[in-house]
Amino acid sequence: MVRAAAAAPARQPQTDSPPRTGRVTRASVKNFQLIKPGEPDHILVQHGRVGSDTFTMDVSWPLSVIQAFALCLSALTMKLGVE
C-alpha cells in the first residue's frame, strides 16, 4: 500500500496562478501533484497540461506507470465539464 497526499496549492504572487514545475507549462484545473507524506520534495506523480489538448505525466517509485496512468485518467474524466 502506498500513502500519498495532494501537494498543497501555492500561488505565484505576481500572477495569482498556480506555480508550474518541471514540464508542466500551462495552468489547468486538471494539473496535480501527489507527494509522499512528510516529504514535500518527493513527488510521486505529476500530471499537467503542456498544450491545448496535450498533457504530461511524471511518475516515480513506488508507483508503477500503470498506477500513475490510472490516476491521471481519473483526473481527466472527473473534470470533463469544468473547462
The model's pLDDT over 23-53, given as tens digits with 9 standing for 90+, comes to 788 888 888 899 888 888 888 999 988 988 8
Q: What is the per-residue pLDDT across 49-62, written as a single tens digit (0 to 9) for each?
A: 898 888 999 999 98
pLDDT of 81 > 60? The answer is: no
Q: What is the pLDDT of residue 68?
A: 94
pTM as predicted: 0.70
Question: Residue 69 to residues 7, 18, 59, 65, 72: CA-CA distances in angstroms?
Answer: 18, 23, 9, 6, 5
Specify the pLDDT at position 17.
Answer: 47
